[in-house]
């Protein structure tokens, strides 16, 4: 028998804790990345272009005199850098991402493929009409889906995000009020509203008047009605609301609002709970933005781009902003100027250059066609079912302020269950990171103390939900037992420990500067 | 339904745990009359990938992609070569499917990218600080005007006639709520004396360079005139690549720069999503809208990044926020940052020079065609031609000949009689000599 | 001889002659957490009692600071611009916000004294 004793050892070694810092600063698959400005240098590039000389004659005497100051990197360096950075992010593709009100559902890859078809991705916004008929047909088809699902007659497609859609809706309301020769400058906003609602109302030149919530988490309809008057332009209500509850008195509220001569703006951030089952148009809503990046699965991309088309009632449709999409026997056409308006159209203005987030339109329609009306409805039902399953499975160990009845697509907890433990909502959320989960939305809505808003979406299997529930139960029980080890200073296993936000805000360093220069001139 | 993991058995088990007899019980707060049957929706049923791909590909095929034919459209959106690595990297799950970095411990990737992006934008524009991006150049311009109104506590915004008309309309739509917006008429060849309009009520002047006709504008005298009256200069750039060859707005005295970043890293996408670059002076930082990423350290002393100065923002300030903006254009900003990292100093300078050289060559060629006059004397990669015929039908006729021959000015400013015969033409590194020859030939035929 | 009074919005005022020095209370500073920025009124600005005079920001919150008494601002504590942490370290001393020339002494007399404010905070 001959034996090779030079082979590598095959035992797994000790599994004892090993806290020795590494020489490199990296740890296994946990790889650090310096700034591109620190790794780049001159004389290197990641693209190959010829060195063409140009004369100054046609540059108006404004040729750049100094360098921009950009670092040079080769392609492999750029790829390694951004791959390393990407690995420091949590993502819905990697795990459950229960951010309430943000709707982190699965982002189908078919959508990405469709948006990249050259006929969409490489199409110029001002190409001649004949060259863009397919794109305009796609927008028209998406408009049909949005108006049909919401039961509303019209939709403005250009708003670029939810908050931009809110602005669009309020500007339409402002135009309608002015067209009636009235002066209405007040907007009623429930105190549970997302911060964009009051910010948008103020941005659009209105005075914000807050409406209190009832103890059951819904808007106080009586208080709201009492605030209605000849100076109220609109109410802005989120439904399902930010506590994850359906505003059951909505039809009655809408009626009162209309009787007072005001308009009803609905924040459609939570449309994903009711799409395919309830039509906002049937509830008396006059305007509602739809976050395509929430309900219709376009990716969040680390913070945008979003898209926020706004559906409009008959009373507001005429005021939709430019451009308008129309069709006749010769095909589709964009109306981009006031001089070409169809009869009755009184656009309040323009939200942005060109025609909106086409790339998001393609993705959203790809999702809608894939699901179909039956799938859209099933998705809403599964989202609501999953949230209720979480609520039912956790409310005995956590505290659910409105846990007596069913919730919609998200389950709201507060920090009552942490009372006396010295553990905060923040600590609890950060401990979830160590368990491999993205934390839920915390400290929002503001109407409950230490809020934890969990939105599982329809994209999780039962097994995934059960595992998540088991982990949260485990954490809640330890917290209540006063076992603080997992919570103090969590997260322990993330690429970074807790970051010093105070230092960041007191002495803002908002860009890299070469060492030779002093940091942020004070 | 391939996107839904729950089985009928799962659903039954979950309802049992909840203690609800059926799914309808969970919707019990919804008024009964508001619940509609599926048949109420005149829409199609579930489709497989194959069918969806077929349907959408059919629609895409009815469009003429810029890369499919000789293409010279610009006017605020430009076709550039985007290196393959960019699209590969932005489709990594961890970038594509993450949310706004609210939990910095597990979002350092996005945050560090934003820090690099802010630095690149500040360098490119010649300003002190930049935010983490806005929706696009037009909305960034509107935000800049509102910011100037807040900073100066003055109502009036003066928009140069060379500002892209869509931008001007976007500004007017929001800025008229808080002040007064005036626009100067401008046509190529006619000098614009915007400095003369600045008075003590003026919050800002908004000047685009290169302007909508491609003209490179000298911002220095305008900045001086504005500052002399206590007003701010907002510089607008719709073609970010131009900053690689031209003096930055910051060097020329701009107080705020609003720029469309689509040209770097992002496709044409029929107008969106794009990425708005927004930069200003350090002293104006507190009035800047949008998200900001800042450097800090974690509890173990490691360098890291967080969203900062968020008390300016809507989720804390509510009705007192600097803007209602919530999202930025994160993924497009990422594409911008990766592309600019690949370009680097030398790559950007070379691409910019190639753009200018191509535009010069094309301008010379087209000027030779009978009935064509070049009316933009100083330009980067875009210029205006005065044609012997109205430009809109010429563009349609060119399209019929397989050439996307630019944007007729009348499409952007239909009420300007002087714009009727103007054609706005852009050339980039993607155009070849064959493209130029095809354009020249087709234009000569159409104008015959 | 100076006297200090408090408001239910958690500002304090120290009166010396007709000069009022104004800041936020220790209780308010603790509730806000680490102060990162203050926006102060310019000298010469006239503010009414209860009017918005300054802004104080922590990482997570921004609050208006109201003038407890009306008058003309004479001086702002510009040291806070560089060192907002002073508000946490010494809220009722070096962390003062601004001074104003009091226009109506009766407004001062209406405010809570230290004992009354302590009771008020206890009841929150």
**Spatial CB neighbours of B32, under 8 Å, sequence gap ≥ 6:** none
Q: How many residues does chain A have?
A: 522
The pLDDT of A122-141, averaged and rounded, is 98
Of B167, B216, B248, which is closest to residue B359 (Cα–Cα)?
A: B216
Best probe of the A interface among B18, B79, B97, by most A CBs < 10 A, is: B97
* A463-492 mean pLDDT: 97
- Check residue B247 and report its DSSP letter: P
The nearest alpha carbon in chain A to C84 belongs to A506
Distance CA A464, CA A382 (A): 14
Q: What is the mean pLDDT of residues B352-379?
A: 97
Q: Tell me the per-residue pLDDT of A364-380, one tens digit each, with 9 for 90 and over.
A: 999 999 999 999 999 99
At A161, is the secondary structure helix, strand, or coil? coil
Tell me the pLDDT of chain A averaged across its residues. 94
In this model, does residue A289 exceed pLDDT 90? yes
Measured CA distances, A375 to A86, A144, A275, A459, B3 (Å): 32, 17, 10, 12, 9
Among C62, C64, C65, C84, most B C-beta atoms within 10 A, so best to mutate, is: C62
Distance of residue B246 Cα from the nearest chain A Cα, in angstroms: 4
Could you please report the per-residue DSSP string of C75-108?
EE-THHHH-TTHHHH-TTTTT--EEEEES-HHHH
Chain B contact present for C57, CB below 8 A? yes
Which residues are CB-neighbours of A67 under 8 A, at least 6 positions away?
B345
pLDDT at A209 over 80: yes
- Return all residues near A386 (Cβ < 8 A) that are at least 6 apart: A456, A457, A458, A460, A465, B6, B14
Query: Is C62 near chain B, with CB under 8 Å?
Result: yes
Provide the pLDDT for residue A7. Answer: 67
**What whole-number distance in Å separates Cα of residue B322 and Cα of residue B285?**
11
- Which residues of C are less than 8 Å from B309 in CB distance? 37
What distance in Å separates the CA atoms of residue B150 and residue A63, rounded to the nearest whole number? Answer: 33
Range with the poorest average pLDDT among A131-140, A208-217, B428-437: A208-217
Exposed/middle/buried for A102, CB within 10 Å: 0-12, 13-18, 19+?
A: buried
Q: How confident is the model at residue A18 (pLDDT cuts 50, 70, 90)?
A: low
Task: Quote the pLDDT of residue C61.
Answer: 79
Structure tokens at A153: 């007659």
Contact B94 A512 (CB under 8 A): no
Q: Are B347 and B334 in contact (CB under 8 A)?
A: no
Residue A510 contacts C where some CB pair is shorter than 8 Å:
no
Which DSSP string corresponds to A231-291? TEEEEEEESS-TTS---TTHHHHHHHHHHTT-EEEEEGGGGGGTTTTB-GGGGT-SEEE--
Nearest chain A Cα distance for residue B298, angstroms:
4
Q: Is the peptide bond before B210 cis (omega within 30 degrees of 0)?
A: yes
How far is it between the farthest Cα atoms of chain B? 82
In chain C, residues 15-54 whose CB comes closer than 8 Å to chain A: 33-34, 36-37
Highest average pLDDT, of A440-449, B217-226, B315-324, comes from B217-226
Q: A471: distance to nearest CA of chain B, Å?
A: 18
Provide the shortest C-alpha distance from residue C24 to chain B (in Å).
19
Distance, in Å, from the CA atom of C11 to the CA atom of C49, rounded to the nearest integer, reads 12
Provide mean pLDDT across the span B106-124. Answer: 98
CB contact under 8 A, A502 and C34: yes
The interface pTM score, or ipTM, of the predicted complex is: 0.97
Chain B residues with CB under 8 Å of C37 CB are: 286, 309, 311
Out of A443, A502, A522, name the one closest to residue C36 (CB). A502
Residues of C (20-49) whose Cβ lies below 8 Å from B: 36-37, 39
What are the pLDDT digits (tens) for B74-112? Answer: 999 999 999 999 999 999 999 999 999 999 999 999 999
Residues B286, C37: C-beta atoms closer than 8 Å: yes
**Nearest CB neighbour to C84, from listed A443, A501, A506:** A506
Average pLDDT, chain B: 95
Confidence of residue A522 (pLDDT cuts 50, 70, 90): very low
Residue A274 predicted with pLDDT over 70: yes
Contact state of B320 with C57 under an 8 Å Cβ cutoff: no
Residue C1 pLDDT more than 80? no
Q: Specify the pTM.
A: 0.95
What does the block give as tokens for A146?
Answer: 């949005």
Q: Which residue has the tokens 């079912």?
A: A385
pLDDT of C60: 74
Cis peptide before B273 (omega within 30 of 0): yes
* Nearest CB to C61; choose among B309, B316, B320: B316
Distance CA A442, CA A446 (A): 9
Long-range contacts of A515-519 (CB under 8 A, 24+ apart): none
Contact B286 C60 (CB under 8 A): no
Neighbouring chains to B with at least 3 Cβ pairs closer than 8 Å: A, C
Reduced to 3 DSSP states, what percent helix, strand and coil does chain B have, rounded to the nearest 5?
45, 15, 40
Residue C82 sits at the chain A interface (C-beta within 8 Å): yes
C-beta atoms of B292 and A508 within 8 A: yes
**Strand B276-280 relative to strand B129-130, pairing:** antiparallel
pLDDT > 60? residue A391: yes
pLDDT single digits (tens) B292-305: 999 999 999 999 99
End-to-end CA, chain B: 58
Minimum distance, in Å, between the CA of residue A347 and any CA atom of chain C: 37
Query: Nearest-CA neighbor of A131 among B123, B405, B167?
Result: B405
Q: Is the pLDDT of residue A4 over 70?
A: no
Helix (H) or strand (E) holding A441: strand A441-442
Residue of A443, A501, A522 lying closest to C59 (CB–CB): A501
Q: Does A502 touch chain C (CB under 8 A)?
A: yes
Q: Could you tell me what percent of chain A has a pLDDT over 90?
A: 89
C62 and B320 within 8 Å at the Cβ level: the answer is: yes
To the nearest whole Å, the CA of B134 is away from the closest chain A CA by 9
Residue A374's CB is within 10 A of a number of other CB atoms, namely 16
Please give the pLDDT value at position A519: 46
Please give the DSSP secondary-structure letter assigned to residue B250: T
Find, among A477, C101, A152, the residue nearest to B41 by Cα. A152
Q: Cis peptide leading into A323, omega within 30 of 0?
A: yes
Give the closest of B309, B343, B395 to A128, CB-based: B395
Say whether pLDDT at A43 is over 70.
yes
Q: What is the DSSP letter of B285?
A: G
Given a cut of 50, whether residue A292 has pLDDT beyond it is yes
Residue A500 distance to chain C (closest CA, Å): 10
| Cα torsion A6, A12, A15, A19: sign | positive
B41 vs C18: which has the higher pLDDT:
B41
Burial of A276 (0-12, 13-18, 19+ CB in 10 A): buried
Q: Facing residues of A324 across strands?
A: A335
Work out the burial of residue C30: count CB atoms within 10 Å of its CB; fewer than 13 is exposed, 13-18 middle, 19 or more buried: exposed
Contact between B316 and C37 using a beta-carbon 8 Å cutoff: no
Quote the percentage of chain B above a pLDDT of 90: 90
Contact assignment for C62 to B311 by CB distance below 8 Å: yes
| A520 has a pLDDT exceeding 50 | no
Residue A362 contacts B where some CB pair is shorter than 8 Å: yes
**Does B188 have pLDDT greater than 90?**
no
Indicate the helix (H) or strand (E) that contains A328: strand A324-328
C39–chain B nearest CA distance, Å: 10
**How far apart (Å, rounded) are the C-alpha atoms in residues A164 and A175?**
16
Neighbours, chain A (3 or more CB pairs < 8 A): B, C
Query: Is some CB atom of chain B closer than 8 A to the CB atom of A145?
Result: yes
Residue numbers in A near C34 (CB within 8 A): 502, 506
Percentage of residues in chain A having pLDDT higher than 70: 95
Specify the higher pLDDT residue, B325 or B5.
B5
pLDDT tens track for A112-131 = 999 999 999 999 999 999 99
CB contact under 8 A, B316 and C39: no
CA distance A480 to A257: 45
Q: How many Cβ atoms sit within 10 Å of the Cβ of residue B9?
A: 9
Q: How confident is the model at residue B278 (pLDDT cuts 50, 70, 90)?
A: very high
Chain B residues lying within 8 Å of C56, measured CB to CB: none
Q: What is the DSSP string of B117-166?
A: HHHHHHHHHT-SEE-S-BS-HHHHHHHHHHHHHHHHT--EEEE-TTS-HH
| Residue B316 pLDDT grade (very low, low, confident, very high; cuts 50, 70, 90) | low
Give the model's pLDDT for residue A481: 95
Q: CB-based contact (8 Å) between C114 and chain B?
A: no
> Does C60 reach chain B within 8 Å, measured CB to CB?
yes
CB atoms within 10 A of CB B158: 25
* Chain C CB contacts of A501 below 8 Å: 59
Inter-chain contact B311–C61, Cβ cutoff 8 Å?
yes
DSSP state of B29: T
- Looking at residues A443-460, what average pLDDT do you find? 94
User: What is the C-alpha to C-alpha distance for residues A136 and A123, in angstroms, rounded to an integer?
Assistant: 11
Least confident of A223-237, A381-395, B306-320: B306-320
């Amino acid at each position: 028998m001959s034996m090779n004793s030079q082979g590598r050892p095959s035992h797994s070694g000790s599994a004892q804790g090993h806290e020795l810092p590494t020489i490199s600063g990296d740890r296994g698959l946990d790889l650090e990345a310096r700034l591109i400005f620190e790794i780049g240098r001159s004389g290197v590039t990641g693209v190959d272009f010829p060195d063409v000389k140009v004369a100054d004659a046609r540059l108006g005497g404004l040729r750049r005199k100094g360098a921009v100051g950009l670092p040079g990197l080769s392609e492999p360096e750029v790829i390694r850098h951004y791959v390393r950075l990407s690995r420091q992010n949590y993502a819905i593709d990697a795990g459950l991402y229960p951010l309430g009100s943000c709707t982190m559902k699965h982002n189908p890859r078919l959508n990405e493929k469709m948006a990249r078809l050259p006929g969409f991705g490489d199409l110029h916004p001002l190409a001649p009409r004949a060259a863009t008929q397919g794109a305009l047909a796609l927008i028209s088809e998406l408009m049909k889906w949005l108006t049909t699902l919401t039961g509303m007659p019209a939709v403005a497609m250009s708003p670029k995000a939810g908050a931009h859609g809110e602005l669009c809706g309020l500007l339409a309301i402002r135009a309608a009020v002015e067209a009636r020769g009235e002066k209405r400058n007040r907007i009623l906003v429930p105190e549970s509203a997302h911060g964009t609602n009051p910010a948008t109302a103020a941005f659009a030149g209105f005075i914000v008047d807050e409406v209190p919530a009832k103890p059951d988490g819904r808007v106080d309809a009586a208080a709201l009605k009492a605030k209605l008057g000849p100076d109220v332009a609109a109410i802005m209500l989120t439904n399902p609301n930010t506590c994850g509850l359906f505003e059951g008195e909505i039809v009655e509220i809408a009626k009162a609002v209309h009787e007072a001569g005001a308009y009803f703006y609905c924040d459609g951030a939570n449309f994903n709970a009711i799409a395919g089952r309830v039509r906002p148009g049937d509830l008396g809503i006059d305007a509602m933005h739809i976050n395509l990046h929430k309900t219709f699965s376009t990716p969040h991309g680390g913070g945008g781009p979003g898209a926020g088309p706004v559906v409009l009632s008959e009373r507001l449709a005429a005021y939709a902003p430019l451009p308008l999409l129309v069709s006749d026997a010769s095909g589709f056409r964009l109306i981009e100027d006031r001089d070409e308006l169809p009869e009755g159209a009184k656009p309040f203005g323009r939200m942005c250059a060109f025609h909106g987030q086409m790339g998001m339109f393609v993705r959203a329609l790809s999702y809608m066609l894939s699901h179909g009306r039956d799938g859209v409805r099933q998705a809403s039902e599964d989202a609501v079912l999953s949230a209720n399953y979480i609520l039912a499975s956790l409310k005995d160990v956590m505290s659910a302020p409105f846990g007596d009845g069913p919730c919609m697509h998200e389950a709201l907890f507060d920090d009552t269950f942490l009372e006396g433990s010295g553990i905060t909502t923040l600590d609890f959320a950060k401990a979830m990171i160590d368990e491999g989960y993205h934390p839920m939305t915390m400290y929002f809505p503001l109407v409950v103390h230490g809020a934890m808003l969990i939105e599982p979406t329809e994209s999780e299997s039962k097994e995934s939900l059960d595992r998540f529930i088991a982990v949260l139960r485990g954490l809640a029980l330890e917290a209540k037992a006063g076992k603080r080890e997992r919570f103090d200073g969590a997260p322990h296993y993330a690429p970074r420990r807790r970051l010093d936000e105070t230092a960041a805000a007191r002495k803002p360093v908002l860009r890299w500067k070469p060492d030779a220069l002093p940091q942020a001139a004070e | 339904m391939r996107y839904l993991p729950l089985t009928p058995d799962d659903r039954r088990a979950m309802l049992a745990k909840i203690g609800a007899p059926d799914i309808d019980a969970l919707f019990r707060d919804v008024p009964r009359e508001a619940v509609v049957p599926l048949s109420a929706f005149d829409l199609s049923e579930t489709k497989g990938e194959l069918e969806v791909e077929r349907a959408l590909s059919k629609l895409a095929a009815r469009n003429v992609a810029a890369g499919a034919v000789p293409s010279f459209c610009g006017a605020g959106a430009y076709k550039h070569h985007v290196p393959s690595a960019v699209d590969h990297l932005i489709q990594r799950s961890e970038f594509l499917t993450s949310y706004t970095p609210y939990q910095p411990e597990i979002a350092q990737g996005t945050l560090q990218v934003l820090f690099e992006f802010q630095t690149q934008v500040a360098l490119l524009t010649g300003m002190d600080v930049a935010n983490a991006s806005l929706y696009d150049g037009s909305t960034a311009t509107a935000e800049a005007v509102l910011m100037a109104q807040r900073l100066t506590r003055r109502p009036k915004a003066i928009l140069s006639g060379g500002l892209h008309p869509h931008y001007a309309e976007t500004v007017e739509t929001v800025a008229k709520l808080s002040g007064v917006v005036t626009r100067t008429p401008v046509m190529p060849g006619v000098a614009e004396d915007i400095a003369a309009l600045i008075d003590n009520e003026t919050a800002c002047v908004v000047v685009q360079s290169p302007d909508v006709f491609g003209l490179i504008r000298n911002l220095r005298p305008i900045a001086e005139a504005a500052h002399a009256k206590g007003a701010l200069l907002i510089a607008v750039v719709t073609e970010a690549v131009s900053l690689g060859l031209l003096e930055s707005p910051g060097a020329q005295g701009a107080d705020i720069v609003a720029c469309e970043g689509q040209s770097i890293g992002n496709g044409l996408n029929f107008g969106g999503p794009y990425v708005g670059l927004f930069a200003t002076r350090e002293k104006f930082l507190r009035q800047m809208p949008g998200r900001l990423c800042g450097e800090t350290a974690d509890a173990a002393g490691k360098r890291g990044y967080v969203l900062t100065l968020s008390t300016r923002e809507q989720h804390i300030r509510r009705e007192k926020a600097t803007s209602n903006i919530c999202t930025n254009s994160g993924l497009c900003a990422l594409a911008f940052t990766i592309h600019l990292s690949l370009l680097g100093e030398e790559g950007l300078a070379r691409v910019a020079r190639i753009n200018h050289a191509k535009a010069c060559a094309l301008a010379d060629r087209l000027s030779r065609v009978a009935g064509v006059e070049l009316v933009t004397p100083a330009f980067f990669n875009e210029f205006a031609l005065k044609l012997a015929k109205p430009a809109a039908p010429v563009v349609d006729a060119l399209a019929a000949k397989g050439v996307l021959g630019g944007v007729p000015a009348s499409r952007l400013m239909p009420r300007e009689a002087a714009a009727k015969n103007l054609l706005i033409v852009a050339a980039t590194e993607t155009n070849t000599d064959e493209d130029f020859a095809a354009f020249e030939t087709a234009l000569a035929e159409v104008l015959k | 001889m100076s006297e200090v009074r408090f408001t239910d919005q958690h500002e304090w005022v120290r009166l010396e002659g007709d000069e009022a020095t104004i800041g936020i209370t220790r209780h308010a500073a603790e509730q806000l957490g680490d102060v990162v920025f203050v926006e102060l009124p310019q000298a010469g600005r006239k503010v009414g009692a209860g009017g918005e005079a300054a802004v104080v920001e922590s990482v997570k919150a921004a609050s208006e600071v109201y003038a407890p008494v009306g008058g003309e601002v004479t001086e702002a504590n510009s040291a806070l611009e560089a060192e907002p942490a002073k508000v946490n370290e010494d809220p009722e001393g070096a962390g003062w916000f601004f001074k104003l020339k009091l226009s109506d002494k009766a407004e001062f007399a209406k405010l809570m004294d230290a004992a009354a404010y302590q009771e008020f905070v206890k009841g929150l």
